[in-house]
A = this chain, B = another copy of it.
Amino acid sequence: MTIREEIKINSRIIQSQTLQNQVYDYLHHKIISGAIPPGQRIVEERISQETGISRSPIREAIRRLGSEGLVTVSPRGGVRVYRATFSDFKHLYECRLSLEPTAAYYAALKINEKQKNQLADLVDKMEVSVKKKEIDQLKVLSSHFHRMILEVSGNPYLIKMMNQLNSLITFYRNAVLNIPHRLEEGAKEHYGIWQAIQTQDGKTAEQLMREHIQKDYQFYLSEYRHTTEKNDQKE
């Protein structure tokens, strides 16, 4: 089941993307989704056979993943899917705790009318999802909410860095975001953040976002402790 077929199809729609980019997306998705578990080795030749693409584009894609930290590459020892330790987890959240409140701050200052409407829509939908107990939907909307605030901040570097962080955090996040109780609680906090942004009160938006993430962090922390470290180090 090579991805060559899809490529041929897509190439007519998306104006012939390079194979390298497609392999990048392919691997990125497989890693983020957990299809290739943390710690597992990635061997070029196998990806090559799997996709029907030669090693050159594959290597380049892997280097980029390495540069973003999704994969750890040792000089001649192959490459493995990134696995966050408990320490990493804390450090990643320290970064998030720095960047996202900043994004909320600038979002509040820079938001325009169109964006205000979009955010309002999103908040409405979240409210509906909470009432209807549509957990999956709420999960999607929540991460959408965060992403939109980043966008509204208008800072491409902030966006890029947060995207990378989120990729690294994802593993743990997925597990916890599904917990209905926390999701609903989070939705309420989102509402407060939204109000601050809507009224262009940057400092409040920043502070509320900080508290929101801090609570998430606490939640994940307690979850993490329950989770025993697995060792699928090999393979």
Binding site for B on A (CB under 8 A): 17-18, 20-21, 56, 59-60, 63-64, 66-69, 75-76, 88, 91-92, 94-95, 97-99, 102, 106, 154-158, 160-161, 165, 168
> What are 17 A-B contacts defined by CB distance under 8 Å?
A56-B56, A56-B59, A60-B60, A60-B63, A64-B64, A67-B67, A67-B68, A69-B157, A69-B160, A91-B154, A92-B157, A94-B102, A94-B157, A95-B102, A98-B102, A99-B99, A157-B168
Known interface pairs A63-B63, A75-B18; A155-B68 also in contact (CB < 8 Å)? no
* Across-interface contacts of A154 in B (CB, < 8 A): 91
CA distance A88 to B91 in the complex (A): 26
B64 touches A156 (CB 8 A): no
* Most chain B CB neighbours (cut-off 10 Å) among A92, A94, A99: A94
Shortest distance from the beta carbon of A87 to any chain B beta carbon, whole Å? 9
Shortest distance from the beta carbon of A42 to any chain B beta carbon, whole Å? 15
Cβ-neighbour of A94 out of B88, B91, B158 (below 8 A): B158
Shortest distance from the beta carbon of A216 to any chain B beta carbon, whole Å? 17
CA distance A139 to B165 in the complex (A): 32
Given A59-B60, A91-B155, A92-B157, 11 extra CB contacts under 8 A: A18-B75, A18-B76, A60-B60, A63-B67, A64-B67, A69-B157, A94-B158, A95-B99, A95-B158, A97-B102, A99-B99
